[in-house]
Amino acid sequence: MAVVTLLSIFQSAQAQWRTEFSGLSTAQRALYEMSAPDTRNCYAIAYDQTDFYNYINQVTVTHDGGRTWSAVTIDSLEHNSFTDIAASSARVVHLIGWNSVTGGGNVFRSMDGGASWSREAANAFTDPASFPDNILFFNPRDGVVFGDPTGGYFEIYTTSNGGNTWTRVPSTDIPAPMAPYEEGSPRQMDQYKNTVWAQTVVVNANGSTYGRILRSDDKGLHWYVKCPNITLAPTDARMRFRDENVGLYKNNGILYRTRDGGATWNPVNYSGTWFSCDFDNVPGRPGVWISTGGDIADSYLSANGLGSSISYDDGDTWHTLDTAVDHTCLNMVNSAFGFGGGITSGSGNDGAFVYSIANNNSYRLTSVDRGSAALSANVFPNPSGSTFNLQVSSQDDQKMYVNVIDVHGRTVYSMITQTEQYLVFGNDLSAGVYMVEVKQGDSMKTLRVVKY
């Protein structure tokens, strides 16, 4: 006889921010853009929160998971306004900038974890009209830099040897710029595996603007128009993809979503609070995103409040993690860990954040199966902000014992299920990580569930 029992469990995701000193000792210094190749290393561009265009030539780095950060002033890069940063490995990081005195742009590289820097790509962005907008690396060897048009076509360079040499992508492999003028857009390039998207800004003769999205599926070697017209007001924008098809985009305080790889975008009619300063998808957890809100002191970069929130459904619903906290940039590294930027008060104990899901030292970290395959269990959705459904089935007539266990290994609820009995429980459990054990004879299924 088949036995099916449905358990509705109010469970959840427990997450937290840890505040750390960013290494920037001057008050109102903040982090603008960051790149983290793993959970121990992160590199971030610093700026003056009182004057976004006061070029202070600083980056700050951590090599111990965000517990300590060191600020580095790069005197040799004087007059360069840093526009983007990309770590290609734990110790190798690349930085692009625009020279505010001579014009033109530069690509710089550190091979010792940010301690010293030298120019690379001496052949790139040499025209006074050059402007490098975005840089990213797919792996330690393959990278791409996207810049404004010079010579009649976008100035895009790729490397396949970690930055030792850079080659400009020929005009025949890039869509021609729109008339009368089209340029790149800083902070507006993202990648998933070998696919990369870059959003541009098209300026009409009357001064109005719109955007295009150019896409490459081979690490930047060949480009095509994916979206010929995306809403773009003269304010900030941000674009992030979680896979080849699904992405989020913000502009002028409005959140948009695509499900077809960037071809079409629709406003998200979300509930809860979405913070518009920055956002990132959580790798390994499809549909999970984190948003942050901060004041980065630039009239072109909007923020709709201070704090952070998390979504488990690709942006339809946002659950507040904190409020009244200045979060600037964000880089999620894996399913349970990420780095965030903030603004230092000068006290020596703030300015950076580390995000983690509280699953360390938990009773069990993963689901465990033992015994007969005749017993099966499935929980959905997980994580969730409302109820969890646990569906258990078996061909055995024996009773099934269900235990809910907290992170300390304590059984906080127990029951015995009977054939076709419907059970609802768990409303009195606190937010946290729990294990749900289903035992039947010598068989056992264990599922990890979380409450946010």
Tell me the C-alpha distance between 278 and 191, whole Å.
Answer: 16
Give pLDDT, residue 13: 35
pLDDT at 359: 34
Name residues of the chain where pLDDT drops below 50.
Answer: 1-15, 299-302, 358-368
> Tens digit of pLDDT for each residue in 374-420?
677 776 666 766 677 777 777 777 888 888 877 666 777 787 876 55
CB 52 within 8 A of CB 37: no
What pLDDT is attached to residue 357? 65
Indicate which CATH number applies to the domain containing 228: 2.130.10.10
One-letter amino acid at 406 equals D
Instruction: Round to whole Å and give the CA distance between 86 and 93.
Output: 6
| Among 337, 357, 377, residue at a domain's last position | 357
Distance CA 156, CA 221 (A): 9
Report pLDDT for 299. 44
Q: Determine what percent of the chain is predicted with pLDDT higher than 90.
A: 56
Q: Give the span between the Cα atoms of 330 and 292, in whole angstroms.
A: 7
pLDDT for residue 214: 98
- Which of 357, 379, 397 terminates a domain? The answer is 357
Tell me, yes or no, whether 195 and 269 share the same domain: yes
Residue 277 CB partners (closer than 8 Å, separation 6+): 291, 292, 293, 294, 296, 301, 303, 327, 328, 329
Q: How many alpha carbons fall within 13 Å on the CB side of residue 368?
A: 12
Task: Enter the tokens of residue 187.
Answer: 């902070």
What's the confidence (pLDDT) of residue 418?
Answer: 63
Same domain, 285 and 421: no
Tokens 């689901």, residue located: 367
- Phi, psi dihedrals of residue 345, rounded to the nearest 5°: -90, -10
Measured distance CA(203)–CA(201) in Å, rounded: 6
Please check whether residues 215 and 202 belong to one and the same domain.
yes
Tell whether 281 and 407 lie within a shared domain. no
Domain total of the chain: 2
Q: pLDDT for 150-164, tens place per residue? A: 999 999 999 999 999
88 and 232 co-located in one domain? yes
Last residue of a domain, one of 357, 373, 400: 357
State whether 348 and 371 are in the same domain.
Answer: no
C-alpha R_g of the chain: 25
pLDDT score for 268: 97
Both 324 and 381 in a single domain?
Answer: no
Instruction: Report the CATH number that the domain containing residue 425 is assigned in CATH.
Output: 2.60.40
pTM metric for this prediction: 0.78
Do residues 399 and 438 both lie within one domain?
yes
Looking at residue 397, its pLDDT comes to 77
- Determine contact, residues 164/114, Cβ cutoff 8 Å: no
Q: Do 348 and 367 fall within a single domain?
A: no
Whether 214 and 346 map to the same domain: the answer is yes
Host domain of residue 429: 3-10+362-450
Cα–Cα distance for residue pair 246/282, rounded to 1 Å: 13
Q: Are residues 443 and 305 in the same domain?
A: no
* Residue 270, token pair as written in the block: 């979300």
